[in-house]
Amino acid sequence: MTGNWTRNAFVYLLILVAAAALFLNVYGPGEAPQKVSLSAVARQVERGEVTRIEVRGERLQVYAGENSQPLASRKEEGVALTRTLHGMGVSEESLSRVKINVQPPSNSGNWFALVINLLPLILIAGLFLFLFRQSQSGSNQALSFGKSKARMFVGDRPTVTFGDVAGADEAKLELEEIVEFLKEPQKFVALGARIPKGVLLVGPPGTGKTLMAKAVSGEAGVPFFSISGSEFVEMFVGVGASRVRDLFEQAKRNSPCIVFIDEIDAVGRYRGTGLGGSHDEREQTLNQILVEMDGFGTDTNVILVAATNRPDILDPALLRPGRFDRRVTMDRPDLQGRRAILDVHVKGKPLDPNVDLDLIARQTPGFVGADIENLVNEAAILAARRNRRTIAMSEMQESIERIAMGGPERRSRIMLPKEKERIAFHEAGHAIVAHLTEDADPLVKVTIIPRGAAGGFVLMVPERDRYLAKRAYFIDSIAIGLGGRVAEEIVFGDISTGASGDIQGITRLARDMVTKYGMSRRMGPLQIGHQEENPFLGRELTDQRDYSEEVAEALDSEVQAIVGEQLQRVRQILTAHRQQLNDVAAALQKRETLNREEFVEVFEGRVASSDLPDPLELQPA
């Protein structure tokens, strides 16, 4: 069919353009000059080593002698270079010895930048051409934006399997059931088993959520339909919902299969307060997703998988039973995890024998799978540029630094040795208080690998469901929450921002004790204020403040009293266990993660942290 042909041609064209852009990005244009910081330039100028500086916009080319290779640097935009250098302590005299040529910022000869600038235009032109051809071919789908893009993915059967996702064993275990169902749905249906419709993959960016979703479909050998939440947002009014309808229509026709909605938070954010009022595009799209999910019969063998790194902002309606009620967490990998991911990505790449993958894994706490893939790839590119036949340790080391120092968004993932120490004490503080208090949930493991916004995490799992939480449970939970902050205070004399998430949780707990559960001794069993649940949206919409100023003040002081009391208690506990605090923190710095038994052994002084087995040696080679 001609329609098909044009579509294919269009797709090929896109791929070609993308490949060319990628190629240029990596290899062109020419060899990049060595980059130095502006302060390094300032020092060189001061030492009289610089003869000439070419300024082009914010880019600098620094020459030391006429025949030498220039160094590249950057200055602040819109501020004269001389002023900036002056501000960095360079004397007038040294400056006067440097010839500074300012050139208009141009991209003369930089046709690569030109292509990049024109790319959107080319794409738009391509799109119009595509639509035009389609309408000519007589197909009435010509302008049907509403037709699901999923159509393009029919028969897309990912080749990735669980083997390609390293170090996410718990997640794989949870998803195993889904794979089995997709392989043989009849078996489950015949027994009347209820299989989850929706699985929510939760984790920070780059932890392999998309990869995992594909792996599930690859393992089961079923088609994979995917769409990204952010795509919906850009669409015309009314299109999002019809797209969802089409997507599911296609999926049902091709069942058993997987529908993957990436970045579901883009459409699934909790809906506005406008009751029957503002029905914006996003809201309609979300409603349609819910309608489709609720319409699944027992014979609809479609599993919906969604991914998000912001489960906290999702509309609760999405998380109700029968919707995305299964949650699978993709955490940042720990030491063993990173080692396993390294293995996946160095496969098929020639490594120098001096490459120590264990060491690389140790040096990269905070890296996610995507960082590790990136690290190996950068090292390979570096080695190729240096005309090496193998990737050596030096290239690996350089790439770690590059990625660690890359944009601000990435820098936050990296843990410097000093931070690692602080986080270790912080988490040790939480863990020790958790261990020594009796009424909160027991400690399961403690780790310094960041989870969400917090630096690390002490996982506590309720022994049994707590229908009726006792006052002591709240009190001990508050104490545990304070443990991290107090440990930092004792050891370092100050508190880092890492404790801010804890403080939120603590305040919430203390307020709830007083306002919701009537657990305050002073205020007595009163409900103070009340939350109105919206019957349709099922979300707490408004905090009704139907109490007086005096009550509000009493409430605040009661919350303060509860927290203050626990602060005293936790200070006592941790000061009395200062030695254990050191031991646990040392063990955490070495191991990153301690399970309950390991924690107890270290805490009780039965094992010195230096004698703890090395996690990488525990691994079967």
Residues that bind Zn ion (CB under 5 A): 484, 502
The partner in contact with residue 206, picked from Mg ion, ligand ADP, Zn ion, none with C-beta cut-offs of 5 to 8 angstroms by kind, is: ligand ADP
Are 510 and 478 in contact by the 8 Å Cβ rule? The answer is yes
The one among 21, 344, 469, 551 contacting ligand ADP by CB under 6 A: 344
Shortest spacing between CB 212 and Mg ion, in angstroms: 9
Instruction: Report the C-alpha gap between 471 and 517 in whole angstroms.
Output: 9
Name the residue whose CB lies closest to Mg ion.
210
Reduced to 3 states, what is the DSSP secondary structure of residue 399? helix
The one among 158, 185, 198, 208 contacting ligand ADP by CB under 6 A: 208
Instruction: Report the C-alpha gap between 22 and 39 in whole angstroms.
Output: 32
Task: Give the residue with the Cβ less far from ligand ADP, 346 or 519.
Answer: 346
Name the residue whose CB lies closest to ligand ADP.
369
Token pair, residue 81, equals 């270079």
Token pair, residue 302, equals 């479609």
Shortest spacing between CB 158 and ligand ADP, in angstroms: 11
DSSP H stretches of helix in 412-499: 417-436, 471-492
The partner in contact with residue 208, picked from Mg ion, ligand ADP, Zn ion, none with C-beta cut-offs of 5 to 8 angstroms by kind, is: ligand ADP
Task: Give the residue with the Cβ less far from Mg ion, 202 or 302.
Answer: 202
Neighbouring C-alpha atoms within 13 Å toward the C-beta of 216: 34
Catalytic residue among 292, 373, 421, 427: 427
> Does the protein bind Mg ion through residue 308 (CB under 5 A)?
no
Angle formed at CA 287 by CA 286 and CA 291, multiple of 5 degrees: 120
The partner in contact with residue 366, picked from Zn ion, Mg ion, ligand ADP, none with C-beta cut-offs of 5 to 8 angstroms by kind, is: none
Reduced to 3 states, what is the DSSP secondary structure of residue 182? helix
The partner in contact with residue 341, picked from ligand ADP, Mg ion, Zn ion, none with C-beta cut-offs of 5 to 8 angstroms by kind, is: ligand ADP
Binding characters for ligand ADP, 140-179, by CB under 6 A (x = yes): -------------------------xxxx-----------
Judged by CB under 5 A, which stretch of 204-212, 453-461, 590-598, 604-612 contacts Mg ion? 204-212
HEC profile of 484-495: HHHHHHHHHCCC
Task: Give the residue with the Cβ less far from ligand ADP, 44 or 226.
Answer: 226
Judged by CB under 6 A, the number of residues near ligand ADP is 18
Question: Environment class of residue 390 by beta-carbon count within 10 Å: exposed (0-12), middle (13-18) or buried (19+)?
Answer: middle
Amino acid identity of residue 511, one-letter, is R
> Does the protein bind ligand ADP through residue 373 (CB under 6 A)?
yes
The string over 275-300, giving b where at least 16 C-beta atoms fall within 10 Å of a residue's C-beta and e elsewhere, is eeeeeebbbbbbbbbbebbeebeeeb
34 alpha-carbon distance from chain centroid? 31
The one among 210, 242, 284, 288 contacting Mg ion by CB under 5 A: 210
Judged by CB under 5 A, which stretch of 203-211, 286-294, 568-576, 591-599 contacts Mg ion? 203-211
Task: Give the residue with the Cβ less far from Zn ion, 476 or 502.
Answer: 502
> Does the protein bind ligand ADP through residue 370 (CB under 6 A)?
yes
Within residues 209-228, the interface with ligand ADP by CB under 6 A covers 209-211
Shortest spacing between CB 454 and Zn ion, in angstroms: 5
User: In sequence order, which residues have a C-beta less than 8 Å from that of residue 188 and are 6 or more positions away?
Assistant: 180, 181, 195
Instruction: Report the C-alpha gap between 541 and 525 in whole angstroms.
Output: 24
Shortest spacing between CB 369 and Mg ion, in angstroms: 11
Are 555 and 522 in contact by the 8 Å Cβ rule? The answer is no
> Does the protein bind ligand ADP through residue 379 (CB under 6 A)?
no
Shortest spacing between CB 339 and Mg ion, in angstroms: 23
Shortest spacing between CB 601 and ligand ADP, in angstroms: 29
The partner in contact with residue 502, picked from Zn ion, Mg ion, ligand ADP, none with C-beta cut-offs of 5 to 8 angstroms by kind, is: Zn ion
Reduced to 3 states, what is the DSSP secondary structure of residue 60? strand
Task: Give the residue with the Cβ less far from Mg ion, 62 or 368.
Answer: 368
Amino acid identity of residue 580, one-letter, is Q
Distances (CA, A) of 472 to 41, 459, 503, 566, 601: 61, 19, 19, 12, 27
Task: Give the residue with the Cβ less far from ligand ADP, 45 or 307.
Answer: 307
Shortest spacing between CB 24 and ligand ADP, in angstroms: 22
Shortest spacing between CB 496 and ligand ADP, in angstroms: 27
Q: What own/partner pairs with CB < 8 Å and gap ≥ 24 does 110-119 have? A: 110/29, 111/29, 112/24, 112/28, 112/29, 115/20, 115/21, 115/24, 116/21, 119/17, 119/21
End-to-end distance of the chain based on CA atoms, in angstroms?
Answer: 53
Task: Give the residue with the Cβ less far from ligand ADP, 344 or 459.
Answer: 344
The partner in contact with residue 484, picked from Zn ion, ligand ADP, Mg ion, none with C-beta cut-offs of 5 to 8 angstroms by kind, is: Zn ion
Question: Environment class of residue 86 by beta-carbon count within 10 Å: exposed (0-12), middle (13-18) or buried (19+)?
Answer: middle
Reduced to 3 states, what is the DSSP secondary structure of residue 437? coil
> Does the protein bind ligand ADP through residue 207 (CB under 6 A)?
yes
The partner in contact with residue 370, picked from Mg ion, ligand ADP, Zn ion, none with C-beta cut-offs of 5 to 8 angstroms by kind, is: ligand ADP
The partner in contact with residue 256, picked from ligand ADP, Mg ion, Zn ion, none with C-beta cut-offs of 5 to 8 angstroms by kind, is: none
Shortest spacing between CB 298 and ligand ADP, in angstroms: 30
Shortest spacing between CB 413 and ligand ADP, in angstroms: 12
Task: Give the residue with the Cβ less far from ligand ADP, 453 or 472.
Answer: 453
Read off φ and ψ for residue 279, nearest 5 degrees.
Answer: -105, 85
Shortest spacing between CB 502 and Zn ion, in angstroms: 4
Angle at which helices 471-492 and 549-576 pack, to 10 degrees? 60
Task: Give the residue with the Cβ less far from Zn ion, 330 or 499.
Answer: 499
DSSP H stretches of helix in 261-328: 265-268, 281-294
Is 549 an active-site residue? no
> Does the protein bind ligand ADP through residue 350 (CB under 6 A)?
no
User: In sequence order, which residues have a C-beta less than 8 Å from that of residue 83 and are 6 or more positions away?
Assistant: none
Task: Give the residue with the Cβ less far from Zn ion, 209 or 332.
Answer: 332
Task: Give the residue with the Cβ less far from Mg ion, 210 or 589.
Answer: 210
Which stretches of the chain bind ligand ADP, using CB under 6 A? Answer: 165-168, 203, 205-211, 307, 341, 344, 369-370, 373
Residues catalogued as catalytic: 427
Which stretches of the chain bind Mg ion, using CB under 5 A? Answer: 210
